[in-house]
Every structure is written in structure tokens, then in C-alpha cells.
Amino acid sequence: MNATRKFGLALQFARGYAAKYPRPRPGTSERPPYRASDPLANNPKATVTTLEDSQLTFIHRPPPSAPTPHSLTTAPSSPLLRAQPRTQNGPLPPSLRPTANNQPPPVSDEVVAKIRELRQLNPTVYSRRKLAQMFSCTPNFVASIAALKKSQRSALVKSRDREHAEVRENWSEKKAIVRAIRAKRRAFW
């Protein structure tokens, strides 16, 4: 009775899980170190050359990207290198801005001269956008054919900045703080 009671108590206090201790000694690991197998040992494409005199063995494995001698640029063996038939849209997805590929209509020399004249006459009234709408072309086209002088451009920028400063003076304190935080965050991007 005494022995069975001791055995029952021993089972009652026995752990049903792995012990946390003893831990491995510092500098050792629980599993053996990884030993990578030799990639040349079982490679069917490797060529082995053994020298009889010096007991040396040379193993050469061609790179996987090496072209085959049967592959030519005119008739490649890989289907990835073959030219794909071009369709109207091509293999690419459609453009995010379909208008980006539109060519502007041809503009005559008289229209170009008129755009330049109006732009030089009053650049504040005849802005790039307004001229582009008047002559059905893009603002970038107007900028390229009727660019302002540097002094005129800096004067327009200064007047625009003055107008923006006047608007900013009417902002509430909270709006000014939010805009300053946003500008600081953008600077750190």
C-alpha cells in the first residue's frame, strides 16, 4: 500500500510538458548548425574533369541563364524571348490618363503668333490656361511657345504669393497649425 501510494503521488506531481530548464549553454544552440549540401554533387549538367597526376578534380556547372547553342536571336528557344504579337492596346494595361496620349491638333503659324502676342500683351489676363482654352491646345504647349521672360515670371509669382498671404491671414489659428503640421510632414517624406 505504501509503495502504490508513493507511486500515485509521484504521478500526481509529474510534469506533462517539457521543462524550461536546463537551457543550452551560452554560445550553443539547441539544433545542430546548418550544413548546406554541395550544389555540384548531384547536378546532372555539371562536367567533372579529374587530373591524374595531381589528384585534382574540376567541377564546372554552366549558369542556368546561359543560352543554348541552338538558340539564336532570330529564332530563340525560350518562349519568353520570342516576340509577342502586338495588338492595338499591347500587353500593357490601359493608361490611367487616356488624354495623355492625345496629340494636340496642328497649330498654324498665325495662331502661334496670336498666342505669343496675347501672352506678352497681358500675362495676368491671358494665362496659360485661358489661352489653351481659347485655342484648344494644352497649357504646356502655350508655355513652350509663349514663355515669359524671367522678370515677368518672378513678378507674377510675387503677386500670387501676396494674394495667398492675404488669404492665409484670415485663417483661424487651428487651420494655420494644421497646415503647418501638414507641410512639416510633407517635408520629411
SS3 letters across 7-57: HHHHHHCCCCCCCCCCCCCCCCCCCCCCCCCCCCCCCCCCEEEEECCCCEE
Average pLDDT along the chain = 79
pLDDT number for residue 118: 93
User: Is the bond into 32 cis (omega within 30 degrees of 0)?
Assistant: no
Per-residue pLDDT at 55 exceeds 70: yes
Sign, CA torsion 134/140/141/143: positive
Q: Give residue 172's pLDDT band: very low, low, confident or very high (50, 70, 90).
A: very high
- In percent, the amount of the chain with pLDDT more than 70 equals 64
Q: Quick one: average pLDDT of 14-42?
A: 66
Give the range among 16-25, 33-42, 61-70, 137-146 with minimum mean pLDDT.
Answer: 16-25
| Burial of 29 per CB tally in 10 Å (0-12, 13-18, 19+) | exposed
Q: Give residue 20's pLDDT band: very low, low, confident or very high (50, 70, 90).
A: low
What ranges do the domains of the chain cover?
Answer: 105-148, 155-189
**Which range, 45-49, 94-98, 182-186, has the best average confidence (pLDDT)?**
182-186
Cα separations (Å) of 48 from 10, 63, 64, 101, 182?
A: 63, 15, 17, 57, 65
Give the range among 40-44, 109-113, 116-120 with minimum mean pLDDT.
Answer: 40-44
Per-residue pLDDT at 176 exceeds 70: yes
> Quick one: DSSP state of residue 2?
H
- Unique residue bearing C-alpha cell 488669404: 167
pLDDT number for residue 16: 62
pLDDT number for residue 12: 60
Mark out the alpha helices in the chain (DSSP H runs).
Answer: 2-12, 109-121, 128-134, 139-145, 150-169, 173-187
